[in-house]
Amino acid sequence: MDAKDRLKKQDAQRYALLRAVYDTSGGRMDHGIDLDTIAESLNIPPDEAANAKQFLLGKGLLWQRTMFSYSLTHRGLVEVEESIRSPNAATEHFQPTTILNFHGSVGAVQTASHSVAHVTQNILNDNSVKTLIQQLHQHAEEAAPEIREEAKELVKSLEEQVASGSPNRAKFKAFLGGLKDLLTNPLSVAVLGELAKKVLGT
């Protein structure tokens, strides 16, 4: 791969990660997202994902909340929304070709980032899943004040994914990862693990 192709690939990966954080968080700057999970869902190798992550942090497009949790900055939010509104125009860090090719680049990024777990409607009727969600709501309410609101928002996001009947796998895993980073007591970790098994089959 020559230098030009390598740069094109790097730009595609950087934009794909930034866009996936935007899509997963719903464009919110107060949502912590597990970037490693996002990169895995996009089929970006760990070493290349680390390079893309450092670029996005260095340019102030993302900020690191905790060891594994990252969020959009205002600058990152603006850049993604500019790229959505005007895909034929360059943003500060990305060329139009990178944005326009987003749907087909980086190992079928669009398919990966919006991959949907084919979960049956039985999830909606599974009382054990509802019980696990209720337990997480309680754990979030009992969390330390500095993380309580973020934990509550992430649990709500998980609940909305379950309620849809066909959870977006990448988003669900990212929300789980964010909660695992916040709710670290053994009981919460066990509940999150059981929920992952029930909904994702992992």
In terms of domains, do 9 and 69 share one?
Answer: yes
Q: Which of 52, 79, 113 is the last residue of a domain?
A: 113
Domain count, the chain: 2
Provide the whole-model pTM: 0.59
Judge whether residue 121 has pLDDT over 70.
no
User: Does pLDDT of 118 surpass 70?
Assistant: no
* Per-residue pLDDT at 105 exceeds 50: no
Give pLDDT, residue 68: 77
If pLDDT is split at 50, 70 and 90, which confidence band does 155 have?
A: very high
Residue 31's domain spans which residues?
3-113
**What is the tens place of the pLDDT at every residue in 47-103?**
999 999 999 999 999 999 887 789 999 999 999 999 988 888 889 999 888 877 764
Q: Which residues contact 36 (CB under 8 A, 6 or more apart)?
A: 46, 49, 68, 177
- At residue 120, the pLDDT reads 36
Residue 177 has a pLDDT of 87
Q: Which residues of 11-35 are buried (b: 16+ CB within 10 A; e: fewer)?
A: bbbbbbbbbbbbbbbeeeeebbbbb
Q: Is residue 52 located within the same domain as residue 127?
A: no
Question: Of 29 and 163, which is predicted with more confidence?
Answer: 29
Indicate if 33 and 63 belong to the same structural domain: yes
For residue 113, what pLDDT is reported?
A: 37
Q: Among 113, 145, 167, which residue terminates a domain?
A: 113
Does residue 6 surpass a pLDDT of 90? Answer: no
Residue 134 has pLDDT above 60, yes or no: yes
**Residues 18 and 95 placed together within one structural domain of the fold:** yes
- pLDDT > 70 fraction of the chain, expressed in percent and rounded: 87
